[in-house]
């Protein structure tokens, strides 16, 4: 059976066949899109020397402790006032420094007597204080936001300051979802007669939206080979990049998916990975003239399905778009954990920052049966319990993936 790393790498190689286009979107619609160009600073930032405090602008001279007030400069005033070492102007945060000024004295450090500004006893000034220099944040023509950044409000702030009202981003992958199972009913129904609600369409749809890809819901279908065949054909006939199915990939009598995928012309790349939950992962490629579709057959179990999505699909999409993944962290285990197989376990867990110790501690979130949706819902990370280990000891450092 393939190890997690082997399976991951095979999938990654196949991702390289996917194609993406570059599209232009308005900056307001760019949230969580992946930038397909560098955004360049079209001005110096800040564009002029300005004050970072409300106060008084002076020409620094260690001998001088008081100045004549000759005016004021609000932000944006475009003032032509200039000063010498005996004069000062009141200046607001963000206002351009008057000619001759190199230093700002904050309001709270001076006493004002009519038109005389005096440095308070004990207040100190150093040359250049509270001045934001032209271009100190970003120089004209330098890269403000790098290609392959997933645009967050902090990046959009800078892009807006550079006047980038439209930006080039990669078009999102179109990702289909098809659930299979005789027991499934719509979530608006009260499940009766051994049925269960088809929740995977919802978790996967929103997991896809969460990484700003484009979900297409093909609903769910009974475990009848002819129905599955028909549904698969119609899904694969659309211009999807990725199709995710759930259910029907285990070894049960009604787990038809593998055979039917072959029947409709998909190439099986692998089946089963040495992990828990999510072992029966099926990975196929459906080759078409225009573009190939990667197919992930995830187990039907909602917990396994989301583990499979997070580990193999989401992370590979991030890799494809060169997005830095900084979701792995180390935490101190708060309890012993045991397992009696040589699979890699992904344990739904809850990590918490321990202020006094300056580290994260982590404990598992409820029972780890693959049916435990409540434990999953209460978790905030997946703890990695490696293949070769049978015990993780309390107090040990473990690797976790933030969710």
Which residues are at the interface with Mg ion (CB under 5 A)?
A: 181, 247, 300
- State the nearest-atom distance from the C-beta of 280 to ligand AMP, in Å: 7
Task: Among 246, 316, 365, 368, indicate the residue that binds ligand AMP (CB under 6 A).
Answer: 246
Tell me how far apart the alpha carbons of residues 91 and 87 are, in angstroms, rounded to a whole number.
Answer: 13
184 near ligand AMP, judged by CB under 6 A? yes
Beta strands in 186-255 (DSSP E): 196-197, 214-221, 242-246
Tell me how far apart the alpha carbons of residues 363 and 337 are, in angstroms, rounded to a whole number.
Answer: 9
Q: Phi, psi at residue 326, to the nearest 5°?
A: -120, 40
Which residue, 109 or 223, has its beta carbon nearer to ligand AMP? Answer: 223
Which residue, 298 or 400, has its beta carbon nearer to ligand AMP? Answer: 298
Read off the tokens for 237: 């006939």
Contact 297, 261 (CB under 8 A): yes
Tell me how far apart the alpha carbons of residues 37 and 264 are, in angstroms, rounded to a whole number.
Answer: 39
259 near ligand AMP, judged by CB under 6 A? no
Task: Among 55, 302, 308, 375, indicate the residue that binds ligand AMP (CB under 6 A).
Answer: 302
Tell me how far apart the alpha carbons of residues 152 and 190 are, in angstroms, rounded to a whole number.
Answer: 40
128 near ligand AMP, judged by CB under 6 A? no
Task: Among 30, 51, 200, 368, indicate the residue that binds ligand AMP (CB under 6 A).
Answer: 200
Tell me how far apart the alpha carbons of residues 366 and 376 are, in angstroms, rounded to a whole number.
Answer: 8
78-86, 141-149, 193-201, 226-234 -> range binding ligand AMP (CB under 6 A):
193-201
Which residue, 46 or 176, has its beta carbon nearer to ligand AMP? Answer: 176
Task: Among 98, 172, 176, 181, indicate the residue that binds ligand AMP (CB under 6 A).
Answer: 181
Contact 403, 379 (CB under 8 A): yes
Contact 314, 382 (CB under 8 A): no
Which residue, 247 or 308, has its beta carbon nearer to Mg ion? Answer: 247
Which residue, 258 or 314, has its beta carbon nearer to Mg ion? Answer: 258
Interacting residues with ligand AMP (CB under 6 A): 179, 181, 183-184, 196, 198-200, 220, 246-248, 250, 252, 299-302
């Amino acid at each position: 059976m393939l190890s997690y790393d082997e399976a991951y790498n095979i999938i990654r190689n196949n991702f390289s066949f996917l194609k993406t286009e570059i599209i232009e979107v308005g900056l307001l619609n760019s949230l969580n899109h992946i930038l397909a160009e560098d955004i360049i600073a079209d001005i110096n930032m800040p564009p002029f020397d300005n004050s970072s405090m409300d106060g008084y602008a002076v020409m620094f001279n260690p001998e001088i402790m008081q100045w004549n007030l000759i005016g004021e400069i609000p932000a944006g005033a475009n003032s032509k006032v200039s000063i010498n070492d005996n004069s000062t102007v009141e200046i607001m945060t963000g206002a351009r420094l008057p000619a001759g000024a190199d230093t700002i004295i904050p309001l709270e450090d001076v006493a004002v007597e009519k038109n005389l500004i005096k440095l308070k006893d004990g207040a100190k000034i150093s040359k250049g204080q509270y001045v934001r220099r032209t271009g100190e944040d970003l120089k004209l023509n330098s890269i403000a936001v790098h290609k392959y950044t997933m645009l967050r409000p902090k990046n959009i702030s800078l892009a807006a300051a550079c006047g980038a009202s439209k930006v080039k981003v990669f078009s999102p992958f179109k990702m289909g979802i098809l659930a299979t199972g005789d027991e499934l009913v719509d979530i608006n129904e009260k499940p009766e007669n051994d049925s269960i609600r088809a929740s995977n369409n919802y978790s996967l749809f929103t997991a896809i939206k969460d990484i700003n890809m484009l979900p297409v819901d093909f609903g769910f279908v009974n475990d009848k080979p002819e129905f599955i065949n028909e549904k698969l054909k119609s899904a694969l006939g659309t211009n999807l990049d990725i199709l995710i199915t759930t259910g029907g990939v285990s070894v049960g009598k009604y787990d038809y998916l593998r055979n039917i995928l072959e029947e409709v012309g998909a190439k099986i790349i692998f089946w089963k990975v040495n992990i828990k939950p999510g072992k029966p992962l099926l990975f196929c490629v459906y080759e078409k003239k225009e573009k190939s579709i990667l197919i992930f057959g995830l187990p039907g179990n909602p917990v396994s399905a989301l583990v499979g999505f997070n580990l193999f699909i989401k992370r590979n999409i991030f890799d494809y778009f060169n997005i830095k993944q900084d979701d792995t962290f180390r935490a101190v285990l708060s309890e012993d954990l045991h397992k009696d197989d040589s699979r890699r376990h992904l344990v739904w867990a809850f990590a918490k920052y321990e202020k006094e110790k300056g580290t994260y501690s982590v404990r598992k979130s409820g029972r780890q049966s693959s049916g435990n949706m409540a434990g999953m819902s209460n978790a905030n990370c997946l703890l990695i319990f490696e293949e070769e280990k049978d015990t993780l000891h309390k107090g040990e450092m473990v690797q976790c993936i933030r969710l």
